[in-house]
Structure 1
């Protein structure tokens, strides 16, 4: 099996006697074991009279089987042992995946095998899960991506299974009784859920032989029932589905053009990757590229190339453009320019050095990519086992060892107007149809012979240029002088207003590193106007830097500039060879850049669109967004920022920029593949820069104190028909003990809350809990979003659960030791890659944990906690003793009656003015 240069894991690929393909990965760095099972079955296989059947079966597999009849038995088991479980149904594949502490892998695999092979399909749960799927469907009715997807389905060949309604709902299932559905589900399961149709991947630190034995023990008895068939699908598009413009009216404000070319399946070309080459050139963002030209004409602000649906006999290649207002009127010019650029690629862009450069870039990504979490790795590999031969399971996504100009030319020949679909997405377009299920207005317009001829004969555009050779390809050598004193970051500079830390990577030994620089600016405490101007300034800077350093990003050297409550931060990461120089160049650009006139209106319009569209987010997302606004002193509501953004002028941005740099506190860290001598020049430049500006102490980022006021409630406007509730509870203190107890309490209540609210009572599809700290102060959130129940009913249900939880908690005494142990293990999990380690160390510095011992202290406290401690803590929570409560409501019912015991938050700005803040 072909492995990357830095991959130290061991692999074994076997096929069980029943035909099930198995890949076992021995990863000594993993503290959990992860498993994914992928089956070659999806919504393409749904019965023609019962769309959504595969999705319904996916839900029901969790709800009891012949060996473990209790609903959610495996979900509960992995949750109690440090893990999680999920599933997804796609077009042609369905996956189930979980992780768990490795000592519990044996039992987890036993339950997993039973779940996959012998589901009960109980009629009572069939009826309940139909309600859950209907809630999921209703939730997505306001999702523009899903609404566009349905238009896509209605404008392709109706005989192709892509056209099927994949989710299902009350209508599709309501034509059958639960008994009839059980028969359908059983037949579907018998036909497709067979070991020969399944690929299993397990990632664990257990020895390969032990893991293989566990898999064989639990899966060898599962037998195939019927011969498997390889379906043959008709074409995705017929002739009249191409050479087409489709006008689509979205819910959110959008100005998009998606240019799609219909291509054959690319699965056989994985070693050649012709579309990766075309994406590489078409998606370039450097000077003279396609996007640069569109920006210069004020037609588009962003471009991505290469996405699109794919399957057994089709592949869409999308060029996705965010248009300006002017661009909406210049669609023909935009498309004509694209064909001019395609002609340039065809005549001048197929040089061998370009293919070689892409091969080198692919190798860099392959050999030095950051490892995934075990559960994500298992999921990815269980899919790869269907896509590639066993020797290329790991390398298939990156392999480019058979480059072919001929194949690229064959693909380019299909990039022609007659083989194209134009999707124009905007609210003001003419439409004459409404897509089923999601009520999306749209209109199809056949491209006239004149437009097709115009596109096919574009003029040459001299401003268009092909990308230059990438000058950022890295040197991947490692430093030789690792020093023990820098195994953890050490403070090298501690001057007034400046702290700089340095550490070396002793663990992963990759030619990479991470740099962090944060600015706490005195002016950040000035309020929402400054915060809004700062947001726009950062967006303008990002736009300039993104183009200037696009090739650096391609070559694995990345930057991230973002605003935060106290000011703004710059982070760079990736290959270390030129990164320190790169970071100082970026810093200089950030300080000196003031030439924003050419991009100001475009970027301002983008920011206004993003802020305005936040109103159309699903209710639960809006509630959590506004919870952060209410809790954090210098965090502001998008709608309020939009009002200020609308009036903002370029002069305001330049004034704010000067104010940000007028007085600030600066902190930074370099951690990775550098020697101490590599830092000297950076330290000198940063110290010199620091001394040229005034100093202020770090901005104190306040946290609203909820603990000594009545329960507070805030109503949030929503344009979504679902009701939603978030109940947030602020813990008594930020001490390590209260933090540990809050984490444990959330872990204990998570499973019963989900089971009761979602599985048994079917109050909604989006149901859950979470540990939610703000500014390092612990808290717990419980949430439900429902299309069927009112917010008043949801809040009553949440409070009812809390009041009854004390009695439930006593039943958990038996699993208390294992759950506590699981939390301790999760807190002490190994970093899986260098950037994860760097982020953890940087957060510790931000939290003033200069000895990097917070995890050790937390583990010690957890060891000492008793079940009596959690009982006492829970009782305080139930009685709201020293706990604060903040309730956020999104309701379509104007007659909501607040409880007299709840204090209503009307104005967010007034709440911020009158709140006491913890610092």
Structure 2
């Protein structure tokens, strides 16, 4: 197509000096805006299209239609009518896809091996040209949306978000129920004589207009080639000249202000939400007054609002800043996590908030504060890490609607104009007469009189008097932050040392420590990652010691907070957590002042004095977090119990809760001395540092521990790793556990295969690659077993296997039977697979394996995984990838894959060894869903009677399949000792998509900027 389809080309895109990619902006004649990215080094190409229409534009009588439309677009187009054509093409070429719907946006995105961008983009473009919205898919996908809503039903973040919307102006689009469910998309429309398919066609025809679309495409192709692709595929999208929806009236008018809401949560949490309506600040992005105020109100250093509230024992955390609404309105929020004492002093806490706001008014806007924010943002923009293609295109596609094309990369970073008038304008909105307050606590159970329609949230609404907080005077304890001493000034990239090794090298090996070192030779940014594992046999010896290790580190982080917050603002972060082997510490960011923060942490680790008040507060918060596990998703329970049952040593939540009563301040102090008395340190220092500097850092750590804690080395016999339970042949085990919160079931079926090795890993991953798309298409899309359907490897303690995870309203035995039937089908599919199809899977897997880390921290995490697993195969991806490629080149003589030659698949020909568990959610006597949980595990670990039997008929001939757990972002309170999500991340292989990558999803309200 000629360039007549292009209205404007933007060549001068503002980018970071360190960004080696080439950019071009386009505006097509039909109104589509595009940003094109040429990256000759990328392994994956990607594209995203954002439609500037979301749930706020749903018809009033069909809630969730925009979200439903998002789901349906994946299920066939006129050019590619096959229901799973798009997902199958991506799966065969190392790709993945997803989408999300928010109030104003519907965002679609994918990635694929760089050679197949055009094929993927062609299939993708049809979503916006000629979708089928096939009637046969409609009912099934309504069930998928309903299952998605059911998953969110007991999630406090979703419940509170909908309650916020429901308590504003009921006639404002903000009040709508955005997710939708079976009632809004099927039951009610049917009763009212509404044809939902026709409404879908109408919605797509009306709103999916090119003038409301923005595209981002990233590939190896030149900018001219990318331009031709976009013009060829998207210039025919029709421009219906749809006016951009705007919402100039705020959903919170005078009658919705000065209101107090007492809300009952699902989990035992105590939160205070203070909200002010403010105008849309988007057009002021060059000065960003909301960012300025969020920086000060949300500050955590000495003299801050948080510092004073913590000193009084009222709060644990505080978040302050602007929160997006929609085009026309925003919110400014101050949210705190309350202590038990804080719940009794809510009015005093809010008074302190207004006192701090009054302090800001009296001081007036400070140009030096703005300049510091400007400098920090400029450094972050200059040295920002390279993004993964799919996330990058999705983000840029969305923000193209808000900024000039030339500024789209820089607009959210670079501040240019100090505008005290705008700061004062926003400050003027933060007054008692404009406030809305929500208190969230279990203490309100039985004291409410209202119920939110869609989630059933119980709450009580009360008016706030006109006089409340009007006389907030100045508080002498509040001070503006000090100038940040952690802002880096030295950005020198150190020259590579002579004969620098390609992979981490062991440069120190003593009784006290092992030090691995790798100088960065890929990213060339002034950053480093410092990782330390402190091994101690006392950290996990029993539930009591596990609890004390957790509390010790939580109290340590709490005491470091005011000091480390300045470092965090300056791009220098640390993480400190207990593990089953001891303690893990990482310090990441700019290397200029990294050693200063590290030294402070190690010194504090050995010398800090525990504050008795904070001890009681953090202990109580920890107990609540253990209790709150009951409200996690059923599939998360599945992963948790499987780990307990398969790991040699693991403590349950109940065991931890029982032992927590025995933790006293005196006992904790004695434990800390014991914990630090004998250690072994294994470390990886990786980045813009020299070998000599790395040795110096390790020596500093050792010297500090020896000086203050008199630390001695562990004995070699104490450096042992836990083992995995071996499942016997023909073993089948069930573990039953109730789920008291959710109506959904969760099932995990685990087939244990063998110890990890390069060859075994390859076969397992190849099988996962082959079944991944058919599993999702069969069990999720066609059979509608549930919103969460996942398959992939499970790896732990050197042992691996395959697993399936499903969360569903259906009976667990039925889910089991469908998985077995699917495996039987896959056995036949693999036997009949053509050589061409087999080669596609090998190529896709090789591409995934050879996909290089995009930033230093990702590469470091890969190396660190090899170190903590004690496998030390730093070249694993290249080794496995080349083996796949080698196998691909040498299989051409065969007409079809010889399944019998695959050790694990051949082993499946006979009886399988497997583990199966699920929440039992069907009440036989009543025939209705009730709350329960049923699971399966290995006999040596069973706390109750187990059963063993031959493999069910449905699994004959196939001995293994399994799933990787899902990683769904949730808003939760304190993390428990064993952080489930982090463990999942370690288990999921680099090529495997997480749940978020497999299913469309609806985003909750964005978090505030701080």
Which TM-score applies when normalising by structure 1? 0.94
Question: Which residue does 1:444 correspond to in 2?
Answer: 461
Compute the displacement of 1:175 (Å): 3.1
- Secondary structure of the residue aligned to 1:14 is strand
Q: Measured at CA, do residues 205 and 636 of structure 1 come closer, stay the same or move farther in structure 2, by a change above 3 Å?
A: farther
Question: Which residue does 2:568 correspond to in 1?
Answer: 553
Question: Which residue does 2:188 correspond to in 1?
Answer: 175
- Secondary structure of the residue aligned to 1:600 is helix
* Structure 1 counterpart of 2:732, from 711, 727, 730: 711
Question: Which residue does 1:431 correspond to in 2?
Answer: 448
Return the alpha-carbon distance in structure 2 between the equivalents of residues 874 and 211 of structure 1.
Answer: 43
Compute the displacement of 1:639 (Å): 3.3
* Structure 2 counterpart of 1:744, from 748, 752, 766: 766
- Secondary structure of the residue aligned to 1:365 is helix
- Secondary structure of the residue aligned to 1:523 is coil
Per-residue CA shift, 1:549-569, capped at 9, x if unaligned? 110111111111111121111
Per-residue CA shift, 1:355-374, capped at 9, x if unaligned? 11111111122112222211
- Secondary structure of the residue aligned to 1:428 is helix
Per-residue CA shift, 1:299-333, capped at 9, x if unaligned? 11111111534211111111111111111111111
Compute the displacement of 1:864 (Å): 5.0
Question: Which residue does 2:95 correspond to in 1?
Answer: 83
Q: Indicate yes or no: 2:21 matched with 1:6.
A: no
Question: Which residue does 1:290 correspond to in 2?
Answer: 305
* Structure 2 counterpart of 1:400, from 397, 407, 415: 415
- Secondary structure of the residue aligned to 2:232 is helix
* Structure 2 counterpart of 1:793, from 814, 821, 825: 814
Return the alpha-carbon distance in structure 1 between the equivalents of residues 701 and 900 of structure 2.
Answer: 48
* Structure 1 counterpart of 2:527, from 503, 512, 519: 512
Question: Which residue does 1:163 correspond to in 2?
Answer: 175
Question: Which residue does 2:106 correspond to in 1?
Answer: 94
Question: Which residue does 1:695 correspond to in 2?
Answer: 714
Say which is worse superposed, 678-687 or 245-254, in terms of deviation. 678-687
Q: Measured at CA, do residues 411 and 19 of structure 1 come closer, stay the same or move farther in structure 2, by a change above 3 Å?
A: same
Compute the displacement of 1:479 (Å): 4.1
- Secondary structure of the residue aligned to 2:507 is strand
* Structure 2 counterpart of 1:22, from 22, 34, 38: 34
Say which is worse superposed, 702-711 or 832-841, in terms of deviation. 702-711
Per-residue CA shift, 1:227-253, capped at 9, x if unaligned? 445445533112110111111111111
Q: Measured at CA, do residues 197 and 537 of structure 1 come closer, stay the same or move farther in structure 2, by a change above 3 Å?
A: same
Question: Which residue does 2:432 correspond to in 1?
Answer: 417
Q: Measured at CA, do residues 456 and 507 of structure 1 come closer, stay the same or move farther in structure 2, by a change above 3 Å?
A: same
Return the alpha-carbon distance in structure 2 between the equivalents of residues 216 and 818 of structure 1.
Answer: 29
- Secondary structure of the residue aligned to 2:429 is coil
Contact 2:304 2:481 in 1 (8 A): yes
Contact 2:612 2:665 in 1 (8 A): yes
Q: Indicate yes or no: 2:639 matched with 1:610.
A: no
Question: Which residue does 1:887 correspond to in 2?
Answer: 916
Return the alpha-carbon distance in structure 2 between the equivalents of residues 188 and 149 of structure 1.
Answer: 25
Per-residue CA shift, 1:684-729, capped at 9, x if unaligned? 3344446841323323122222254712222232121111211122
Q: What runs of 5+ residues in structure 1 fail to find an aligned partner?
A: 913-919
Return the alpha-carbon distance in structure 2 between the equivalents of residues 591 and 29 of structure 1.
Answer: 46
* Structure 2 counterpart of 1:862, from 884, 895, 912: 884
Contact 2:602 2:701 in 1 (8 A): no
Question: Which residue does 1:917 correspond to in 2?
Answer: none
Q: Indicate yes or no: 2:54 matched with 1:56.
A: no
Q: Measured at CA, do residues 498 and 680 of structure 1 come closer, stay the same or move farther in structure 2, by a change above 3 Å?
A: closer
Compute the displacement of 1:125 (Å): 0.9
Question: Which residue does 2:351 correspond to in 1?
Answer: 336
Question: Which residue does 1:270 correspond to in 2?
Answer: 285
Question: Which residue does 1:252 correspond to in 2?
Answer: 267
- Secondary structure of the residue aligned to 1:773 is strand
Contact 2:297 2:305 in 1 (8 A): yes
After TM superposition, the structure 1 = structure 2 runs for residues 58-457 of structure 1, keeping only pairs within 5 Å, are 58-173=70-185, 174-177=187-190, 180-225=195-240, 227-228=242-243, 230-306=245-321, 308-348=323-363, 350-429=365-444, 430-451=447-468, 455-457=469-471
Compute the displacement of 1:621 (Å): 1.3
Q: Measured at CA, do residues 263 and 231 of structure 1 come closer, stay the same or move farther in structure 2, by a change above 3 Å?
A: closer
Q: Measured at CA, do residues 680 and 805 of structure 1 come closer, stay the same or move farther in structure 2, by a change above 3 Å?
A: closer
Contact 1:714 1:905 in 2 (8 A): no
Return the alpha-carbon distance in structure 2 between the equivalents of residues 426 and 877 of structure 1.
Answer: 53
Q: What runs of 5+ residues in structure 2 fail to find an aligned partner?
A: 1-12, 892-896, 926-931, 947-1010
Per-residue CA shift, 1:794-853, capped at 9, x if unaligned? 112112222332012235433211221121121121221111122222223334455733
Return the alpha-carbon distance in structure 2 between the equivalents of residues 309 and 684 of structure 1.
Answer: 47
* Structure 2 counterpart of 1:458, from 468, 472, 480: 472
Say which is worse superposed, 655-664 or 493-502, in terms of deviation. 655-664
- How many residues are matched? 905
Q: Measured at CA, do residues 665 and 895 of structure 1 come closer, stay the same or move farther in structure 2, by a change above 3 Å?
A: farther
- Secondary structure of the residue aligned to 1:201 is strand
Return the alpha-carbon distance in structure 1 between the equivalents of residues 439 and 516 of structure 2.
Answer: 50
Return the alpha-carbon distance in structure 2 between the equivalents of residues 902 and 602 of structure 1.
Answer: 37
Return the alpha-carbon distance in structure 2 between the equivalents of residues 110 and 286 of structure 1.
Answer: 52
- Secondary structure of the residue aligned to 1:308 is strand
Return the alpha-carbon distance in structure 1 between the equivalents of residues 666 and 916 of structure 2.
Answer: 40
- Secondary structure of the residue aligned to 1:470 is coil
Q: Measured at CA, do residues 58 and 481 of structure 1 come closer, stay the same or move farther in structure 2, by a change above 3 Å?
A: closer
Question: Which residue does 1:916 correspond to in 2?
Answer: none
Return the alpha-carbon distance in structure 2 between the equivalents of residues 653 and 890 of structure 1.
Answer: 37
- Secondary structure of the residue aligned to 1:500 is strand
Question: Which residue does 2:485 correspond to in 1?
Answer: 471
Compute the displacement of 1:400 (Å): 0.8
Return the alpha-carbon distance in structure 1 between the equivalents of residues 914 and 364 of structure 2.
Answer: 61
After TM superposition, the structure 1 = structure 2 runs for residues 455-854 of structure 1, keeping only pairs within 5 Å, are 455-487=469-501, 488-524=503-539, 526-688=541-703, 689=705, 692-697=711-716, 698-708=719-729, 710-718=731-739, 719-787=741-809, 789-813=810-834, 814-850=836-872, 852-854=874-876
Compute the displacement of 1:671 (Å): 1.4
Compute the displacement of 1:647 (Å): 3.4
